[in-house]
Amino acid sequence: MTESKEYWMRRRGFILAAIGSAIGLGNIWRFSWLAYRNGGGAFLVPYFIALLSIGVPLLILEFLLGNYFQGSSVTAFKKIRDQLEIIGWIAILDVFIIGTYYSVVLGWVMDYIGYSAVVAWKDVGAGDLFGSLIANPWLQLIGFTITWFITWITVYKGVSGGIERASTFAIPVLWILSAILVIRGITLPGADVGINWYLKPDWARLADGKVWIDAFGQILFTLSVMAGPLVVYAKYMPRNSELPNSAWITAFANCGFSFFFGFATWGIIGYMMSLQGATTPADLNVPLGGAGLAFVTIPTATSLLPGGIAVAAVFGTMFFVILWLAGYTSLISIVEPVHAALNEKFGTSRKFNVTLITILSYIFGLAFIFRVDLIDPVDFIAGSTNLVWVVLLEAVIAGYFYSLKKLRDYANPYAELKLGEWFDFLIRYVVPIIMGIILVYGLISTDTMSPISGLVLILLIIASTVLAGSKWKTIETT
Ligand code: TRP
């Protein structure tokens, strides 16, 4: 049975959902740490260049593809050339794989919302508490199950009734709570010292190629551009919609959030430095980015806040609610494109697809719960390397196998910001060249790819081949 096509209720809902996909764990625990390591304020230069040269153009391209072809990347690429369908499946299945471990981390975050209520790290210490959590599958299962249950219900309820509602609620709450944390962060004694470490420009760092690779890699990851969520989100806008400016808004809201949240993180780090008389953040001997920042450093810091245990509970809870909401709206955008692709190809219903995706993700996620050490090698391939070559192919498909001019002419009559030939130039030349450089750089700088990464890559390609080779059930309407 084919259901009639779904739509967003409002353009605002579409943009908030896209922002929700983009803003995730990476904005909170990765951006400010990258800035700190890579030249402070000077890092904003490569970051902005990456945003303008590849980030925004790719975001616009994904919105145009999804809306013009009224489908996921599977449908879009197939309509461009039959043989290209497999690239769409690779993208979609890659998104699925990201979801299997992203949800495990979100499960930890959910557990930490509970821990925060009682400041569970006050006696054992934050490092030991985190260690005991990831050594205990049963504890992880609690947050993991709740996270999947909420995500399942949300996507099950559909585009406007589920995803749009969730995003319209979650994104404003995320900003408000973050503003409270930022205000607390920057008003702590010593905050200025921390923020200075975050943003003090060290221009000499820009001579290091790694800084630029980090900036471009972060832009790809943070915007969720990978022929997945954003293509599908644009599918649910009616034809004749404004698209380019929506992409600009999404990009700036996302990157603005990262920048903004850095003040909370580094205000608190500065405060810890002043308490311990540390001269550099490294002297604190605590993780300044990644899971370590979220699950060890921040909890430790909340216990040091003036005001005692209740204050630690409140700010701890607030931090993990922010982190969970950020990740939840991203996880929604992982499930939705997989559903869309299955629905387009096999005609299976939303309820069936979403339930199937949830069950499969849950089962695969269990593997990570029992073997937390598998997350890194899988993320290396699915959450990092694959993004680069998939996006490279996406740009080549749109730029050489199809006509960017056609897409521009389609979008421009309704566009608040018109697309000119600069758009074609960026997609056809700049994106492929930069992706090529990142790939080559990655190949020469990683010693060896772990067998796990290689295995995941092979399975991904096999599964995509099978899916691309199977029969379309729905009657094609063009
Ligand atoms: N943008 C998300 C973050 O910053 C992560 C992410 C990358 C993602 N690719 C994605 C989320 C695809 C959903 C779908 O955390």
pLDDT tens by residue, 397-435:
999 999 999 999 999 999 999 999 999 999 999 999 999
- What average pLDDT does the segment 312-336 reach? 98
Identify the pLDDT of residue 474: 64
Using CB atoms within 10 Å of the CB of residue 71, give its burial: 0 to 12 exposed, 13 to 18 middle, 19+ buried.
buried
Tens-place pLDDT, residues 281-307: 999 999 999 999 999 999 999 999 999
Sketch out the chain's domains with CATH numbers.
11-469 (1.20.1740.10)
Identify the pLDDT of residue 447: 66
Atom 8 of ligand 1: nearest residue by CA position: 224
- Cα separation, 8 vs 4, in Å, equals 13
pLDDT above 60 (res 1)? no
- Cα separation, 90 vs 390, in Å, equals 8
Tokens at 184, concatenated? 């607390």
- What average pLDDT does the segment 306-322 reach? 97
| Least confident piece of the model among 14-23, 343-352, 448-457 | 448-457
Q: From ligand 1's centre to the CA of 188, what distance in Å?
A: 31
- What average pLDDT does the segment 159-183 reach? 98
pLDDT above 70 (res 476)? no
Q: From ligand 1's centre to the CA of 145, what distance in Å?
A: 20
| Residue with token string 């400010």 | 32
Q: From ligand 1's centre to the CA of 429, what distance in Å?
A: 25
- Cα separation, 207 vs 196, in Å, equals 21
Is 433:113 a contact under the CB 8 Å cutoff? no
In a mutational test of the pocket of ligand 1, which residue from 224, 261, 322, 394 has the highest number of ligand atoms less than 8 Å from its CB? 224
Atom 9 of ligand 1: nearest residue by CA position: 224
Q: Which pTM value belongs to this model?
A: 0.96
- What average pLDDT does the segment 193-209 reach? 96
Give the chain's mean pLDDT. 96
Identify the pLDDT of residue 473: 83
Atom 13 of ligand 1: nearest residue by CA position: 330
In this structure, the residues whose C-beta lies within 6 A of any atom of ligand 1 are 21-22, 24-27, 95, 98, 221-222, 224, 226, 228-229, 330, 333-334
Identify the pLDDT of residue 216: 96
Q: From ligand 1's centre to the CA of 223, what distance in Å?
A: 7
Atom 10 of ligand 1: nearest residue by CA position: 224
pLDDT above 70 (res 137)? yes
Tens-place pLDDT, residues 350-367: 999 999 999 999 999 999
